[in-house]
Amino acid sequence: MFAALPLSLLLFGAVLATSVISGIFGMAGGLILMLILAQMFTVPAAMVLHGVTQFFSNGWRAVLWRRWIAWRIVGLYMLGALPATLVPFVVAFVPDKAVMLILLGLVPFAALALPEGVKFDVTKPGHAVLCGFLVAGTQLLAGVAGPLLDVFFVRSTTLDRRAVVATKAVTQAFSHTLKIGYYVTLAAAGTALDWDVYAAAIAAATIGTTLAGPLLERISNENFRKWTRVIVRAVGAISMIQGLWLLTR
């Protein structure tokens, strides 16, 4: 346990910082955390630890902002998300680290590559169901899908930034639960980590999410959307470059 203590402290700092970022922007932090965990653990272990961390981070964020949650959108999202787990289960696909990093890096750019004429709006029932299917499926393979999720929320101008963060939090807590179940089922032996690693991650996720609350209140809706795009593009580029480098080694 003592040998793992430095790892727990490092993980605590990483989760704390990324939870604050997620608490402000509703995403981005999870993308950064997945990139960090990919350096520290095997793919199954990173996926499960990321899922546990993000479940508590998003779950606590949902509690803090519960009065802003758009429950109708959440229900439709879940309706689409559940069938998305079937396809990867059939082929029992667990990506290696290079593939996972490339997929992780592609997520922000794939979201940006959508034609301008394609205007998803999560407040529309059909779009919310499609959002659940695409986001949950992507999350199982790349670990995160925040930028793709944002495609469905960015056009929803009727939603306040606090409603965006709160509703995203519930949908992501649900999707990360699906991800945990997927990787524990397919690669249980490769997901085992010491209890103090999980404890550090959960504690940091809760603290970071709480600290982010006052900052979210201060940021404007315009800066909220602007900085979200800047952060996810930068992290996506780093992840993709690293994944391609691993493929060529």
* Ramachandran sector of residue 26 (left: φ over 0; alpha: ψ -120 to 50; beta: rest): left
> Residue 47: CA atoms inside 13 Å, Cβ hemisphere, count?
32
Q: Does residue 79 contact residue 131 with C-beta atoms inside 8 Å?
A: no
Q: Residue 58 corresponds to which tokens in the numbers above? A: 């998003």
Which pTM does this prediction carry? 0.84
CA-atom Rg of the chain in angstroms = 17
Q: What is the pLDDT of residue 223?
A: 75
Alpha-carbon gap, residue 143 to 22, rounded angstroms? 15
Q: What is the pLDDT of residue 116?
A: 63
C-alpha closest to that of 213 among 57, 35, 71 = 57
Residues 6+ apart with CB under 8 A from 247: 98, 102
Q: Residue 140 corresponds to which tokens in the numbers above? A: 């199982």
C-alpha distances in Å from residue 111, one per residue of 52, 108, 114: 25, 5, 6
C-alpha closest to that of 221 among 18, 22, 25, 20 = 25
pLDDT tens per residue across span 160-193: 888 888 999 999 999 999 999 988 888 766 667 7
Give the confidence band of 3 by pLDDT, cuts at 50, 70, 90: very low
pLDDT tens per residue across span 81-132: 999 888 777 766 778 888 888 888 888 787 667 766 677 889 999 999 999 9
pLDDT tens per residue across span 11-69: 898 899 988 887 777 667 888 888 889 888 888 899 999 999 989 888 988 998 899 99
pLDDT tens per residue across span 84-93: 888 777 766 7
Q: Structural domain boundaries of the chain?
A: 5-248
Alpha-carbon gap, residue 76 to 122, rounded angstroms? 9
Average predicted confidence (pLDDT) for the chain: 84
